[in-house]
Amino acid sequence: MKNTLFGLLLALILSSFHTLADSPPLTANPELAEHEKYTGSWYGYITMPNAELLLIVTLEHSDNQWSGTFMLPSQSATGMPLENFSVSGNQLAFSTPQGSRFEGQLDDNQRLQGTFTQGTVQRAVNLGRDVIDPNATITLSSRWGNIDVETFASGLVRPWGLDFLDNGRILVTELPGRLRIVEADGSLGAPIAGVPAVNQINPAGLFDVVLAPDFATSQRIYLSFAKPDAAGGNAASTSIAHARLADGALHDFTEIFSAYPKVPGWHYGGRMVFSADGQYLFLGLGDRGDQLMQSQELGSHTGTLIRIHPDGSVPADNPFIHTAGALPEIYSYGHRNIQGLGIQPGTNRLWATEHGPQGGDEVNIPEPGKNYGWPIITHGEEYGGGEVPLAVGFKKEGMEQPVWHWTPSIGVSGMTFYQGEPFPAWQGNILAVGLRDRNVARLEIDGDRVIHQENLQLNDRIREVKVGPDGFVYLLTDEQGNGKILRLRPAQPQG
């Protein structure tokens, strides 16, 4: 009897070993394999209006739950969580919190292909496993040779203005109200103390920074900013102040100009430049968005270019200083929203780029006392189509024509004249940058005429452009999540 029981037990044990040996390993479980192939990160580009934006999708599976993120590095430093997953075979679907739905499939090469749909808008994507670095150097082809576009610094929030310190350092503003020094190795310094409070509505904030002509001895810098109304609310005005930069802080902060009137709105202008001799400071101002006709009224700084001395006093030869009812700081008027100012080498004349409506971005040569027409004349139209209210066409007697205009708009912002050794064929050219078209427009000049344009296409909205002491071209990208300082230099030999 005992032998019989022992035999039965031995047979049961041997049978169990046989069953375990014949079972597939856990990693071969079809359900787990499905999860593994959909786990990880995919990189690629999504087509948006006027741009191809880097997209990173990351998916995870844990505790029988799917999760993931949807990230546009140019828009945010963190990813948006994904939800409402559906996974079946090679088919995958999920939603973003904003209501966009992705439906697609994973192909045999592990590429994630499909379409994001939101309302009636569909955007196709084709994402791969190869990592794409948003800060990687890219190479552009141009008329005069290839150009490397490298990331000098990153991690900024909507950088707006910059100027160059010694030893390769850069002073840069961020729209939310921060001023930083970027070191020669591209590392970001801590925010500088003593920066004024700024209005951040529509969008506004800390705009430009320029060094005083005597900075080497005075250490003085100039800031333009949206000064909030002391009584609170949304009203603000574009203002200028100077201060002494020392020991990581601003000292002796002194406001020298504030635009009148202080109103709610947008289109602040804010770009500054000193004259070639350092005797005058120019500031471009916008029409504040819904104050269009004030651009034609000399009793308002709205839609004007102002000229003051570095201490804020009014030059005795300003064109309207003896005009009854006119504000004495006004140099020219009829501007929509000046975003770029530059002094032409050789002539020392002031040139400006002006952000138009839908079409009609302009290059002008502002002259004292002249009227540049907004909103009475324009080459643009209302956003969405239709004539600009109050506009009578392209021309009117007594109003100046632009030297150049972009129709359709590039969303023009900053400008500068090129002078330097690295790009000898660019001497005297205008470099103007586009927010909408994400580009650098290189304009060749003959006297007062633009005779040729070359477009250098980038992937980021470009806010400002300046030429560094090294002759390289520095750009600011208008990004919320990962604002950068880009540097353009002749392409380096490979290998």
Task: Catalogue the active-site residues.
Answer: 267
Task: Give CA angle at 390 (389, 396), nearest 5°.
Answer: 135
Locate the DSSP E strands across 97-201.
101-106, 112-118, 121-127, 138-140, 147-156, 159-164, 170-174, 178-182
Conformation bin of residue 468: beta by default, left when phi > 0, alpha when psi is -120 to 50: beta
Q: Which helix (H) or strand (E) holds 6?
A: helix 2-22
Taking only Cα atoms into account, the Rg of the chain, rounded to an integer number of angstroms, comes to: 29
Q: Which helix (H) or strand (E) holds 14?
A: helix 2-22
Q: Measure the CA–CA gap between 410 and 357, rounded to whole angstroms.
A: 10
Q: Measure the CA–CA gap between 246 and 206, rounded to whole angstroms.
A: 19
Q: Which helix (H) or strand (E) holds 31?
A: helix 30-37
Estimate to the nearest angstrom the gap between the alpha carbon of 260 and the chain centroid: 28
Q: Which helix (H) or strand (E) holds 488?
A: strand 483-490
Closest C-alpha among 312, 320, 207, 194 to residue 253 = 194
Cα dihedral value 349, 350, 355, 360, nearest 10:
-30
How far, CA to CA in Å, does 320 sit from each of 281, 303, 368?
17, 15, 9
How far, CA to CA in Å, does 56 sit from each of 74, 156, 480?
11, 20, 16
Q: Where are the alpha helices (DSSP H) in 173-330?
A: 215-218
Q: Measure the CA–CA gap between 42 and 110, rounded to whole angstroms.
A: 9
Question: Coil, strand, or helix at residue 48?
Answer: strand
